[in-house]
Structure 1
Amino acid sequence: MQTILIVEDNKAYQELYSEFFLEKKYRVIQAFTGDEGMKKLIHHNPDVLILDLAIPGLSGRSLLMEIKRHNKNLPVFIVSGRVGMQSDPEIELCSQVKGFFEKPVPMDKLLEEIIKVVPQIPTETPLENKGWIGKKIQGCTIAECIGRGGTGVVYKAKRGKIDVVIKILYLNKSHAPNGQEAEQNHTETVEFDDTEERIARFQREGKILTQIAHPNIISLYDAGLLEGDTYFIIMEYFDGHGLDILLDKERRIPLKEAINIVEQIAEGMLAAHKKDLIQRDLKPSNILYNRQAKCLKIIDFGSARAIKVEQTLTQQGYVVGTPLYMSPEQCLGSALDHRSDIYSLGVIFFQLITGALPFIKDGAMQILFAHVYEAFEWPPQYRYLAPLGIQNMIYKMLDKSKDKRYPSMFDFLQDLKKIKQEIPS
């Protein structure tokens, strides 16, 4: 598997690049500053470098000059929000630079240019099976692999007669199972080389789930350290699929069902908010839904934080979330509270009803800009899909000012339950 190092300080773009190249079977290494990029360049010896010149710390231009001196064979692709960067004589004369792309970057074209310089090597499936199938963890017998990422694996297991899910994080990635057990359901994720961040996210999810007990939030049974370098979380197994899969299949959901879904999400998030916890990454793929049983569970609290901690971290410039569902204050890297989750739920509500998103743009940066500066308007062609009362609720949820949104999930639920009674089954 070939390695791409992406040196880019914008988290939204990092997510965009990573998701695209992981799907194309590349290994992705992320760096958010020039200094971090230099360290990872030396440590990982990547096959390709994607570089934004406007990065903090060691400048992109300085990093490029270091590469010119020490790694003459590394192909570099420059991405920039500035027009005319390719005219810079210092950059133009650097033989490693194989292409220039202005943001928003056309990903297929970027891949095409990368393959011209570094042809893809087919990924081989390792024959050795180092998996956990049949083994026991805390009284749970592992039955099958149901998902896998760059540094962890998700298993279905039995705890007596009860089905559970075991998430395993490997601090030493060489210990991660890589055999046939994961082939059918393999879902590659970005490899974060910052071990401390991976551990913190994993531990945070476990800690948060112990604080919330609610029918619409996945339950935690156990968590801990295993064999010195392997963390585990044992969670409730829920027979459902991501809400995003249903949306991909059907595009939009009948109004009454959409209201029931949003009501359950709001009930679960209200329980989290009562513990002063905000989700920060509420989106359809983080919601498991069983359509037959008409019930759902919110999952993946690895991005969630206590409100006081969140306000401290955002002062240091952290931005977390998925651009399509991020609140304006989240896009700006400002301090968040529960009203940010209300905005994200408003995006989901609109998407469930219409099959569209409030802001449809060509790139991540344009989406972030729209969340912050463009007024939301309910498209005329979708007005027949929801009564005016529902439309007004979503307008309120998607207000740019958090002070003009619902003050709490409780207040939102009060309005939702009232209007639900007025809608025929």
Structure 2
Amino acid sequence: MELKRVVVTGLGAVTPLGNDVETTWENAIAGKSGAGPITQFDASLFKTQFACEVKNFDPSELFDRKEARKYDRYSQLAIKAAKEAMEDSELDLENEDKDRIGVIFSAGIGGIKTFEEEVGAYYLDKERGPRFNPFFIPKMIADIAAGHISMIYGLRGPNYATVSACASSTNAIADACNLIRLGKANVIVSGGAEATISPSAVGGFGAMHALSTRNESPQTASRPFSASRDGFVIGEGGACLILEELNHALARGAHIYAEIAGSGMSADAYHLTASHPEGLGAKLVMRNALQDAEMRPEDIDYINVHGTSTPVGDISEVKAILDVFGEHAYKLNISSTKSMTGHLLGAAGAIEALLTILAIRNQIVPPTINHEEGDNDPEIDYNLNFTFNKAQKRKIRAALSNTFGFGGHNASVILKQYE
């Protein structure tokens, strides 16, 4: 069968760089860091005391006080991003078949703050007995943001969450694209959200030595591809893409940001948390994405890399890029927007796909910030263009976005100019 074409017709974001798409993009292009001291709990006894938090987010703008109590922060961020994307898409839901509009929206962890609060209260006050909030379970589960979005807008199409650690929302976008390609839906609201600036998440990742401990300089802590990198900076936020079948979008005169050319998935099958040192899973996922898109390596102009600023991960991704792209790798722009947003875990793929779309639309590559002259890792080839410290204008016909997760989960999506 002939697969249908899929385009992006709406964008929404709430991130450490801004509480909407425009502000997030402007700060990304300016090379600003979203990192700072943790304000959501007392982190003074933790090895890592900083994060990339969403700033000045007010749930009362979306819900009344009673209603807000039904949502974990991650769901609140998801709904905020979805609301902006739906408005941006200008979908007329009164005249749409809502049976053919779905929601595939992910989190890697979900409502960890709710879990902490409820379980913590039980163990700290055993005398009160097992008195749990009736919203405990629906606030916590990782699929509930997708459910909330569908209920708010009355969308009755495919509805679920993909959970694959830090690859979760790239998998969500890939699944949404494939369902539309196959004619299973006209439109799918897709993306991811995460809110893990909490004691258990920061403590847990810290115990694994996964987080940077550069407490004296949070804004320079995320430094992908620099020799002095010492771990990722945990972040929170949400991003949403409205994916739509091309003819459906054209029929209603929708604004088209970009086309989704294809996607790939793979597994490292190697280690609980570390990427394969030779980047075997990363090579496979990029090749799978190129094959799905029916594109050659030479067709790609920009890669928004996973680039978490971890010692092993950055090296293995560079090795994979060199293997897959060969000599063309030296003609690419490569950047890690995590250097600015921090690592949004399950939401990383969505925000990075969104920033990649805006890079294509504006023909500007956002930078990899915090690289200092001479801070070079001998295992990294600096003849590659990592777009260090300053955004670069260039022609971008097509771009690749990579996300890799604990458990060896890899997902990539290719986005291109709509023609």
| TM bracket, shorter-chain basis | under 0.3
Using CA pairs under 8 Å that are at least 6 residues apart, name the structure with larger relative contact order, 1 or 2: 2
Q: Provide TM-score, normalisation by structure 1.
A: 0.27
TM-score by length of 2: 0.27
